[in-house]
Homo-oligomer: A and B are copies of this chain.
């Protein structure tokens, strides 16, 4: 039985994992880089070990340092969270070698699903639908042309080792094939050191729908239904919901069965996610498997009534699943909004900095998972995800109304953030109607970038308040500060224009 867990991660997910461990009476160990000495996961864990400088390559990705901390602390298990080392087969293997339980799947499952071509072949063998295209990697331009003739244009050329849109090329007409193929290979080679590519049918108006699965060490695999994740910007998810507004009960069940088949094909163990691409006629195709906990796992927790981190730990302990597929049900509707430290008005530039004030939404149906506190300096080295708002309603309408209410209550000052942008997504027609694809953000740019109107009263009150604050500060300013103000003025006598991006 696991007694002490080292969490090899940071941010909200580290805090979230520690919470469930604490509820189970399990001791927790945090690890931290230079930049994270004051991060919430360090304050919140029972123990904390320093594992290196701020860049993640030297700390959160440093397997040796993390294993050393595990040994020193006497942790008997490691939870990798998401990102960082969570889908690193070598890390899973190294944990096994060190006699430490890796709370996640085997190195085999990770590496099989980590390589797109291998995953694709494995899925085809298991009878899971994949996007029409080449079975393996392309050997010649002739093969490419033959494939394209079979499946028809448009197609997507993808790097086998790819990710993040690199080594990808969309081909819409015959003339582009050769040049696109060459470009994709060369980009893949320089990005991943591997120029293997394959070809898939391009789905025009796709939905991104994923299935949560749980698999124990005794061969039991269940799915916990889907999550609709089509609201994305540059392949980064922003808002997720469950149930998906487009699935029918029949399709939901079919896809669930496909997800279970996919997991069984790699002898999966633990929590995982099967991502599908779904077209407007509800044809679905395996896209990839994430062999770890997802950022958006809480919406599944809410509608199914389960704590996925606890399930992961039970599975890692070798216990059989207590949940039965036939007993699982989706209760009501849940929506997750990801709060990023970024500036939507400035091309979504990331915005690290010091949080001066937070108003968190409370009350009925609202859950918040976060990693910031007042006075916390959001480091510039890591992901800009700083909080997640998870809202439940008895149906989709109530969930939407409640999300709006909660977003309006949510205030983070000191750092730029996307809270207003999230609010506008929730108000957008396409979203309200539940009729949106992965192109939603691009297609609704005008609406989403619009600011709420402020009438004259509202403006005037803002003006008066700023003036009153200024006058109060002027009164309180010490002589020393007044000098500083004056010097500042002198600096300004030479006219300058300050350019920003």
Which A residues are closer than 8 A to B by beta carbons?
A: 15-16, 19-20, 22-25, 298, 301, 305-307, 331-332, 360, 362-370, 394, 398, 401-402, 404-405, 408
Contacts and interface: CB of A to CB of B under 8 A. Distances in A.
B369 A305 contact: no
A365 B307 contact: yes
Copies of this chain, count: 2
Given A23-B404, A306-B394, A307-B398, 12 more contacts: A15-B363, A16-B363, A23-B402, A24-B401, A298-B364, A305-B394, A307-B364, A307-B365, A307-B394, A362-B368, A363-B369, A364-B367
B394 A19 contact: no
22 contacts: A15-B363, A16-B363, A19-B363, A19-B364, A22-B408, A23-B398, A23-B404, A301-B364, A305-B332, A305-B394, A307-B394, A331-B331, A360-B362, A362-B367, A362-B368, A362-B369, A362-B370, A363-B367, A363-B368, A363-B369, A365-B367, A366-B367
Contact of A401 (B23, B366, B369, B370): B23
A367 B391 CA distance: 11
Nearest to A23: B401
Interface-central residue, A16, A363, A404, by most chain B CB under 10 Å: A363
Contacts of A401: 23-25
Contacts of A332: 305
Nearest to A361: B19
A2 to B, nearest CB: 15
Contacts of A298: 364
A343 B404 CA distance: 38
A405 B23 CA distance: 6
A23 B395 CA distance: 13
